[in-house]
Amino acid sequence: MSGTELAVETLTLTAGARHLVRDVSLIARPGEVIGLVGPNGSGKSSLLRAVYRVLRPDTGQVRVDGADAWSLPVRRLARTMAAVVQEPGTGIDLTVREVVAMGRTPHKRLLDGDTAEDARLIDTALAAVDAADLAGRSFDRLSGGERQRVLIARALAQQPALLVLDEPTNHLDIRHQLEVLGMLRRLPATVLVALHDLNLAAYYCDRLYALHNGEVIASGPPAEVLTPRLLAEVYGVTAEVAVHPRTGAPQVTFLPGEPAGATPAGPDQPRS
């Protein structure tokens, strides 16, 4: 028992007349780490926001363990699913420990106090993102990378069976990027994660979904999704993909210059 199943079924999201996400279906089986890749504005964040119940779908469904996520009580869903969102919190004087402790809220009734078990889970969560030494610091005074790690710890303290993360490696230095993604892999949970770095996505995810203009344009194991043709079509870049001899994962190398057949997106010329 490691994680719960997430199924997104023919989901469509609109903002006014514009489609943010169109007819997207996606499945994450228990324990899988599923990567969401695609350029800016491709609909990754919108799709995730529909999954963690902030953006209501126009049509389609989000199912968590078979149940419609949008008709579950918010609190019950929060006991199964946690999310790391891209939203700055307000700066009102909380310590890092207090911020992580928030993750325990869905498991608490109104007047419950904090137990030793809560304290242990908070410690574990902080240690998992290498932030144990930040516990007593003021959250407002952390650097961007430290803050990001604390927010991941808060989601871990929620003990989710399904974890949704929007660009969790943002602001992180390379060591912490690797540590965080490695930690997600070891987690006894299903993980859906939007990532910018294709090589990290290729190495750490079981399967990828590539989004383009709000639609799934390719899905499957990283080696099947990350092809030069797809990268040219979706990102408008020239790239070579090789299997890395040590990791065995596809390794994307970007090359300067317009891809063959692609129309230039702007006046920027690649510098040598």
User: Strands 59-64 and 81-84: what pairing?
Assistant: unpaired
108 forms part of the interface with other proteins (CB under 8 A): yes
Helical spans, DSSP H, in the chain: 44-51, 74-80, 96-101, 116-128, 144-157, 174-186, 198-204, 222-225, 228-235
DSSP assigned state of 134: G
> Of residues 157-186, which lie at the interface with other proteins (CB under 8 A)?
158, 164, 175, 179
Give the H/E segment covering residue 255: strand 250-255
Please answer whether residues 206 and 28 qualify as being in contact, where contact means their C-beta atoms are separated by less than 8 angstroms.
no
| Ramachandran class of 28: left when φ > 0, alpha when ψ lies in -120 to 50, beta otherwise | beta
136 forms part of the interface with other proteins (CB under 8 A): yes
Q: Which of 5, 9, 23, 130 binds other proteins (CB under 8 A)?
A: 130
Cα(233)–Cα(120) distance, integer angstroms? 48
> Of residues 47-106, which lie at the interface with other proteins (CB under 8 A)?
49, 52-54, 73-79, 81-83, 85, 87-99, 102-103, 105-106
Shortest separation between residue 30's beta carbon and other proteins, angstroms: 20
Residue 177 identity: Q
142 forms part of the interface with other proteins (CB under 8 A): no
Shortest separation between residue 223's beta carbon and other proteins, angstroms: 27
111 forms part of the interface with other proteins (CB under 8 A): yes
Cα(204)–Cα(219) distance, integer angstroms? 15
| Pick 22 or 154: Cβ nearer other proteins | 154
Please answer whether residues 105 and 121 qualify as being in contact, where contact means their C-beta atoms are separated by less than 8 angstroms.
no
Shortest separation between residue 175's beta carbon and other proteins, angstroms: 8
| Pick 114 or 224: Cβ nearer other proteins | 114
Q: What is the strand order of the sheet 207-212 is part of?
A: 81-84, 162-166, 190-194, 33-37, 207-212, 215-220
Shortest separation between residue 47's beta carbon and other proteins, angstroms: 14
135 forms part of the interface with other proteins (CB under 8 A): yes
| Pick 75 or 229: Cβ nearer other proteins | 75
3-state secondary structure 81-113: EEEECCCCCCCCCCEHHHHHHHHHHHHCCCCCC
| Pick 21 or 77: Cβ nearer other proteins | 77
Binding mask 207-236 for other proteins (x = CB under 8 A): ------------------------------
Q: Which residues bind other proteins (CB under 8 A)?
A: 49, 52-54, 73-79, 81-83, 85, 87-99, 102-103, 105-106, 108, 110-111, 127, 130, 132-137, 140, 151, 154-155, 158, 164, 175, 179
